Amino acid sequence: MARRKPKRIAESTQSWSVLRHPFEPQRIFSEDRVEAIHLAALEVLETLGVKILLPEAVEIFSQNGAKVVEDMVYLDADMVEAAIASAPVSFVLRAPNPARNVPVAPGQLIFTPGGGCPNVTDRIRGRRPGDLSTYTDAVKLMQSFNVIHKLSPAPEPQDIPVHLRHYAMMQTQLGYGDKAITVYGRGRQQVTECFELMQTALGLSDAEFASAPYCSTVINTNSPRMLDRPMAQALIDFGRAGQMCIVTPFCLAGAMAPITVAGALTLQHAEALAAITLNQLTAPGAPVMYGGFGSNVDMKSGAPAFGTPEHIQMSIGSGQLARHIGLPWRSAAGAASNTNDMQATHETVMSLWGCLQANATMVIHSAGWLEGGLTFGFEKFIQDIEALQSIAHLCKPVASDTSAIGLDAIAQVAPGGHFFATDQTMAQYSTAFLPSLNADLSNFGTWSKNGALTAEERATKKWQQVIADFVPPAGAEGRLANIANMVAEFTQAGGAPILD
Amino acid sequence: MARRKPKRIAESTQSWSVLRHPFEPQRIFSEDRVEAIHLAALEVLETLGVKILLPEAVEIFSQNGAKVVEDMVYLDADMVEAAIASAPVSFVLRAPNPARNVPVAPGQLIFTPGGGCPNVTDRIRGRRPGDLSTYTDAVKLMQSFNVIHKLSPAPEPQDIPVHLRHYAMMQTQLGYGDKAITVYGRGRQQVTECFELMQTALGLSDAEFASAPYCSTVINTNSPRMLDRPMAQALIDFGRAGQMCIVTPFCLAGAMAPITVAGALTLQHAEALAAITLNQLTAPGAPVMYGGFGSNVDMKSGAPAFGTPEHIQMSIGSGQLARHIGLPWRSAAGAASNTNDMQATHETVMSLWGCLQANATMVIHSAGWLEGGLTFGFEKFIQDIEALQSIAHLCKPVASDTSAIGLDAIAQVAPGGHFFATDQTMAQYSTAFLPSLNADLSNFGTWSKNGALTAEERATKKWQQVIADFVPPAGAEGRLANIANMVAEFTQAGGAPILD
């Protein structure tokens, strides 16, 4: 395949960078109240219990001494604290390209794009169910911007039957990307096959694959206090294979969780700890991330809201709980808006800053997420990248040495003059500032003369250009070829069912 | 005048509240580098000097021992440090309604709307020069939302001749609002007349008016290192009258300031200190606010950019410098966008969070500011209020007592159930969450059926409704009547010229 440099994109994307939070984490609770919430969550697990729909998981809890009554499991504090203690504080999520490996540890900042969206939308083709073609386009976008650290499973390629879809999603991620890969926990056979595809694509020995996480999955609890079959099985299977679980109760205050932030966080914490405990009982030391995705609902309609004060408070409170137990953790940005408007950007940027205040290790849904996750938006993706690149830029130290203070430059310019021609400016003008990706900074007259394009319209041109310029990363073609036969065999054998 | 409660607005506005920052200030510099920037700024003032275009101001500096060479003034560190020491750390900005008084002190959070805009735009009437009718509408909007703590002079009523415009602006603020008032520093006669109008409107004795600030003005330096005649005169006149100056170098890194953040802040700090020194030499103890409005320019076009990482860094660095000298200070949000799109909200929300990271005492241009301040946007104003109300909500403590954790509520709901009907939810559902102002949280189908209105379109309905429902606050009519004769006399006498 001819390789050429995607020149036009190179102008507006940042170089790959592992990020660390530039800001100190903030607090909404005093330390004693964080401890109180932690203890309340332990009490929920011990006295109210969690409903576990997978008998194999119930059996694991039971064998390890948990009290079990049919499908209800009651965990004592010692078992939970032991699981917290065995979960690793720090590990590396491997990518097909080792240069894209991502350290997972408190203080790191990892951006992942919108996930889990059944639909897709853009200004050219409209809103429609996701398909393989647009999933491929989305992966090209995720791969093209270095501020995105990991690929996401969205939009869902609904034109591929569910028993074969995981092959297509692996092929798409491996064939068009070289960043860390996501596998859905939709049943043992699918998960196991994805592990085999991953190992084969990368040419890893069994020992190599077992030694580090080469893919991750998100574990959603069924709030309140329930863990369904595919999620429980994934906690077991990913754990045994040494692959990464990202535990995520989705606690909407006032709906599937208490209406108070403290109450919703108590429930979220209990559910996250139950899932981590199952994972660690199965495989002590398996890579697992604590987390939550908490917001509130509109109490008039029951609709989920994002970017609200409660969303931000839930993020900050989650961060306090994560630091209390000492684990890396995920939070999420997100938008409820149905289109690419001021609301959409308000919601995502507000919730993004919530994640920053919270020092979330991984910010999921950080680009392209509309309609509370029902739709992956291409224009929204581009606009959100502008925010993420700005934050990534803020992660760099600000020069403040004598040369940066630059009294010489100040002395060079007479009162009322300008700095365009100082030696300092001339030396730095091409690198000083982060170039904008989607902003139009021209004045009203010029902007009008050029067609008065909105940010949404400009974003269309941008994603089209990114996709037109796209070249698969080095090695992707080979990795895809490595699994061609295996995918054919799996397909011929009838694919793999999903576990309900 | 018949008084009725503006019911529809009451649903979506918060109650009046004096805010304090909910978050700890962040840092971009170590403390020793903050000190280094402070010392570098003092060196700029002592060795490079500041050009002061008003002879009266040069004379004040000279009388107090500054070295003067024609219009260049060189300030030694002792003079500057004495001015910093005499500036008050804390005071109260008075409003016509004492219930709207605003404490000005480090840690407070004051939101003021977009200011200084010559133009106005809305979806009904388009973009056009500001006039008295739309200034009146804007003041009604500023007055209607309690999260706005102070009135702004925008859009500029350009249909009123400049020698009479200050009367109209005072009448509009006093006649439609009861919040703290802004007076432009456009020359001694205009300023003095505005003080007289203010004192007369509120029925204050000379001693009462002199005892506390009843109005404020923004002092922009002419970066680099220059203070023009109207600004220098306002520093003197507001100081002598005990009224409030908000000192604001507008340092765009790479244009009128060095290209480095540290260099631009050094220049900003030097200019702010020069202005504060003039003010305090004139009237030690006069209410004055430190500040800056720093961002960067697009180095390709020279156009100012807002909401960029550099804008955020300039805010955070300014906050560090403000805390270093111990004074309350102003920063600014803002947008360069030409219309109400994703860019517009991105820019304002990003820069708003910069001000929060910086713990800016006063966030100017926090609502309705488009095109880098060239235009006041009514739809933008509404959307920005959504962000400000969210931040105001975050200023409230989050309940975390036993009742908020609410194990009873968690126990009431079976696994997989919902919390809509718990006692806790029923008791709190109408007050638990901040109601959205402009967000549409309905799903895609309902939203489409209802006309697929964008946030911009919804905002039009909202500002129209606010203006339609508007009732002047209690007392405004009387205050306006108090100054009717005085305005007539001033007008008959020929008005007051502006000082160039």
Q: How far is CA B399 from the centre of its chain?
A: 30
Summarised one tens digit per residue, pLDDT across range A16-35 is 999 999 999 999 999 999 99
Strand, coil or helix: B104:
strand
- A35 in contact with B, Cβ within 8 Å: no
Most B CBs within 10 A among A400, A440, A448, A454, hence the mutation to make, goes to: A400
Most A CBs within 10 A among B259, B261, B347, B353, hence the mutation to make, goes to: B259
Q: Are B151 and B180 in contact (CB under 8 A)?
A: yes
Q: Are A122 and A463 in contact (CB under 8 A)?
A: yes
Distance from CA of B404 to the nearest CA of A (A): 6
As for the ipTM of the complex, it is: 0.97
Residue B9 has a pLDDT of 53
Beta bridge pairs of residue B52? B227
> SS3 for B379-394, per residue?
HHHHHHHHHHHHHHHH
Q: Are B460 and B122 in contact (CB under 8 A)?
A: yes
- A48 in contact with B, Cβ within 8 Å: yes
Q: Which two tokens stand for residue A414?
A: 């007479």
Q: Which segments of B242-335 does DSSP mark as H helices, in order?
A: 261-282, 309-325
The average pLDDT across B138-165 equals 97
User: A383, B266: Cβ pair inside 8 Å?
Assistant: no
- Kindly indicate the confidence band of residue B5, based on its pLDDT and cuts at 50, 70 and 90: very low
User: In percent, how much of chain B has pLDDT > 70?
Assistant: 98
The Cα B387–Cα B372 span in angstroms is 19
Q: Are A203 and A210 in contact (CB under 8 A)?
A: no
The Cα A412–Cα B232 span in angstroms is 24
Q: Are A141 and A463 in contact (CB under 8 A)?
A: yes
User: A266, B407: Cβ pair inside 8 Å?
Assistant: yes
CB contact residues (below 8 A), chain A span 132-191, against chain B: none
Distances in whole angstroms, Cα of residue B424 to Cα of each of A317, A413, B52, B406: 20, 65, 64, 8
Q: Is residue B194 pLDDT above 90, yes or no?
A: yes
Contacts of B44 in chain A (CB under 8 A): 407, 410
- A69 in contact with B, Cβ within 8 Å: no
Distances in whole angstroms, Cα of residue A162 to Cα of each of A158, A220, B71: 8, 19, 79
The Cα B61–Cα B54 span in angstroms is 11
Neighbours of A201 (CB within 10 A): 25
Q: Which secondary structure element, helix H or strand E, spans residue B79, and what is its range?
A: helix B77-86
Helix B229-241 and helix B261-282: axis angle, to 10°? 50
- From first CA to last CA, the distance across chain A in angstroms is 41
The Cα A307–Cα A298 span in angstroms is 12
Q: Is residue B8 pLDDT above 70, yes or no?
A: no
- Kindly indicate the confidence band of residue B149, based on its pLDDT and cuts at 50, 70 and 90: very high
Strand, coil or helix: B320:
helix
Residue B2 has a pLDDT of 40
The average pLDDT across B95-119 equals 98
Residue B95 has a pLDDT of 98
CA-CA-CA-CA torsion sign (A99, A103, A108, A113) = positive
Q: Are B290 and B247 in contact (CB under 8 A)?
A: yes
The average pLDDT across B34-45 equals 98
Q: Position of tokens 């170590």?
A: B30
List of domains in chain A: 7-27+84-394 (3.20.20.480)
Distances in whole angstroms, Cα of residue A9 to Cα of each of A12, A32, A116, A454, B300: 5, 49, 26, 20, 17
- B58 in contact with A, Cβ within 8 Å: no
Checking phi first, is residue B453 left (phi over 0); if not, alpha (psi -120 to 50) or beta?
beta
Q: Are A320 and A34 in contact (CB under 8 A)?
A: yes
- B410 in contact with A, Cβ within 8 Å: yes
User: B26, A23: Cβ pair inside 8 Å?
Assistant: yes
The Cα A429–Cα B484 span in angstroms is 55
Average pLDDT, chain B: 96
Q: Which secondary structure element, helix H or strand E, spans residue B245, and what is its range?
A: strand B244-247
Cβ partners under 8 Å of residue B122, min gap 6:
B377, B378, B379, B460, B463
The Cα A213–Cα A230 span in angstroms is 20
- A131 in contact with B, Cβ within 8 Å: no
- B206 in contact with A, Cβ within 8 Å: no
Contacts of B393 in chain A (CB under 8 A): 309
Q: Which stretch of A81-85, A101-105, B11-15, B183-187 has the lowest confidence by average pLDDT? A: B11-15
Residue A241 has a pLDDT of 98
Summarised one tens digit per residue, pLDDT across range B399-449 is 999 999 999 999 999 999 999 999 999 999 888 898 899 999 999 999 999
- What are the φ/ψ torsions at residue A5 (nearest 5 degrees)? -80, 125
The Cα A228–Cα A57 span in angstroms is 10
| Pairs of CB atoms within 8 A across A/B | 389
- Pick B454's closest partner by Cβ from A266, A341, A428: A341
Nearest partner of A450 among B342, B215, B338, judged by Cα: B338
- Pick A259's closest partner by Cβ from B33, B390, B429: B429
Most A CBs within 10 A among B221, B390, B400, B403, hence the mutation to make, goes to: B400
* pLDDT tens for chain A, residues 1 to 500: 344 444 455 456 789 999 999 999 999 999 999 999 999 999 999 999 999 999 999 999 999 999 999 999 999 999 999 999 999 999 999 999 999 999 999 999 999 999 999 999 999 999 999 999 999 999 999 999 999 999 999 999 999 999 999 999 999 999 999 999 999 999 999 999 999 999 999 999 999 999 999 999 999 999 999 999 999 999 999 999 999 999 999 999 999 999 999 999 999 999 999 999 999 999 999 999 999 999 999 888 889 999 999 999 999 999 999 999 999 999 999 999 999 999 999 999 999 999 999 999 999 999 999 999 999 999 999 999 999 999 999 999 999 999 999 999 999 999 999 999 999 999 998 888 989 999 999 999 999 999 999 999 999 999 999 999 999 999 999 999 999 999 999 999 999 999 98
Q: Which two tokens stand for residue A165?
A: 């879809």
Residue A8 has a pLDDT of 53
Q: Which segments of B364-475 does DSSP mark as H helices, in order?
A: 378-394, 402-405, 407-412, 423-428, 444-449, 455-469
Q: Which stretch of B172-186, B289-303, B391-405, B450-464 has the lowest confidence by average pLDDT? A: B289-303
Most B CBs within 10 A among A45, A350, A419, hence the mutation to make, goes to: A419
> SS3 for chain A, per residue?
CCCCCCHHHHCCCCCCCCEECCCCCCCCCCHHHHHHHHHHHHHHHHHHCEEECCHHHHHHHHHCCCEEECCEEECCHHHHHHHHHHCCCCEEECCCCHHHCEEECCCEEEECCCCCCCEEEECCCEEEECCHHHHHHHHHHHHHCCCCCECCCCCCCCCCCHHHHHHHHHHHHHHHCCCEEECCCCCHHHHHHHHHHHHHHHCCCHHHHHHCCCEEEEECCCCCCEECHHHHHHHHHHHHCCCEEEECCCCEECCCECCCHHHHHHHHHHHHHHHHHHHHHHCCCCCEEEECCCEEECCCCCCEECCCHHHHHHHHHHHHHHHHHCCCEEEECCCCCCCCCHHHHHHHHHHHHHHHHCCCCEEECCCCEEHHHCEEEHHHHHHHHHHHHHHHHHCCCCCCCHHHHCHHHHHHCCCCCCCCCCHHHHHHCCCCCCCCCCCCCCCHHHHHHCCCCCHHHHHHHHHHHHHHHCCCCCCHHHHHHHCHHHHHHHHHCCCCCCCC
Q: Is residue B10 pLDDT above 50, yes or no?
A: no
Distance from CA of A377 to the nearest CA of B (A): 13
Q: Position of tokens 């499908």?
A: A71
Q: Is residue B3 pLDDT above 90, yes or no?
A: no
- Kindly indicate the confidence band of residue B61, based on its pLDDT and cuts at 50, 70 and 90: very high
Residue B275 has a pLDDT of 98
Contacts of B127 in chain A (CB under 8 A): 444
Q: Are A301 and A261 in contact (CB under 8 A)?
A: no
Cα atoms in the Cβ-side hemisphere of radius 13 Å centred on B142: 38
A299 or B82, greater pLDDT: B82
- A257 in contact with B, Cβ within 8 Å: yes
Contacts of B307 in chain A (CB under 8 A): 390
